[in-house]
Each structure stands twice: as structure tokens, then as C-alpha cells.
Amino acid sequence: MTKSKTLSLDCLVLKRKPQGETDRIITVLSQELGKFVLIAKGVRRLSSSFSSSLEPGNLIKAHLVITKGLPLLVQAKLIEDAAASKNNLPQIRRLIQILEMFDKLFVEEELPDEVYSLVLSIRRELLSNSTGQVRSSLQQLLTQLGFATETSQTDQSMLEYIQGVVERPM
């Protein structure tokens, strides 16, 4: 008889995709585990109580059961909603681009406090529409992750620079 391990983590939802008829594969970012993928069973049913909290950009408290395969999401509580940024198309585009950048930059490993705090700060700045602050915070994040140098990014946009770093178009 095997014991299953449970975890409760604060996570930023990066992306989601359908799996089968009622499940979703969710990619999240947490301080404890870094970026990881989990499965949310039955979340696409109309009667699902936490499907709305699994929207990209939301900050959630995820209760997980660690299995041999993907971690299983058994409960998700919304901490902070990103719906305010979804008022117009440019805001939605910026949010999706930032989340995609996070998805490409991070791997499965514990994040230092200052890096995770900076990720949450970038999210907060973006949601409050402080786009000028977002660029400098992104440069600071890239520097902390070891990607940026002082002379980089002079004549290219942040998106172009990150595409060069991850060697994939976004």
C-alpha cells in the first residue's frame, strides 16, 4: 500500500489546455517547485466549482496530490483574479505575452524568494496597467536569472530579446 503525498502551494496559472472531455492540463509557477504541469480532473464540467480560478494570470492556492504521473489538483482557491486586465485587447495581449515569457524562462526547480516576488510584482504592475514599470522589472528578472547583461536590449523590444534567449518565436 502506497501513501500519497499532498501539497498546498500558492501558484500563478501560466497556461491551460484541454485533456479529454472534462480534464485540463494546467501549467503553473510556484516558489517551491518552479514551473510545473498538473492535471485538473473534471474541471471542464459545468458543475466544476473551481474552473474559473484556473484562468491564465490568476494567483491560486492549489491543493495537490502527488501521484506517479502528473500531480493531481484536488482543490483550487482563488487568491487574486486577473480578470481586471481582460478589459481590452491590448491588456489581454500583454498579459498573455508576459505569461508566455514566464513559461519559457522558468524550469522545474525552487525559485529564490526575490525571483518569485519579482514575478508577482511584474504581474501586479501589468494588472494595474503600469507598463513602464513592467519593462524595467522584466530586465531585473532577466538579470537575476542570468540572461541579461548591461549592454543588451538597447535596440530591440523585450519580446524580441526573450525570443532570442529562448530561441523560439512567441
What is the predicted pLDDT for the residue at 1?
40
What is the predicted pLDDT for the residue at 144?
87
- In the block, cell 504581474 appears at 123
Going residue by residue through the chain, which has 170 residues, state the pLDDT in tens, using 9 for 90 and above. 445 599 999 999 999 999 999 999 999 999 998 999 999 998 888 888 888 889 999 999 999 999 888 999 999 999 998 877 667 788 888 888 899 989 988 888 888 889 999 999 999 888 887 777 888 888 888 888 887 655 455 556 666 767 776 666 66
Per-residue b or e along 59-71, where b marks 16 or more CB atoms closer than 10 Å to that residue's CB: bbebbbeeeeebb
For 2, 57, 148, the CA distances from 136, given in Å and listed in that order, are 48, 20, 12
Give one word for 146, left, alpha or beta, with left for phi > 0 and alpha for psi -120 to 50: left
What is the predicted pLDDT for the residue at 154?
52
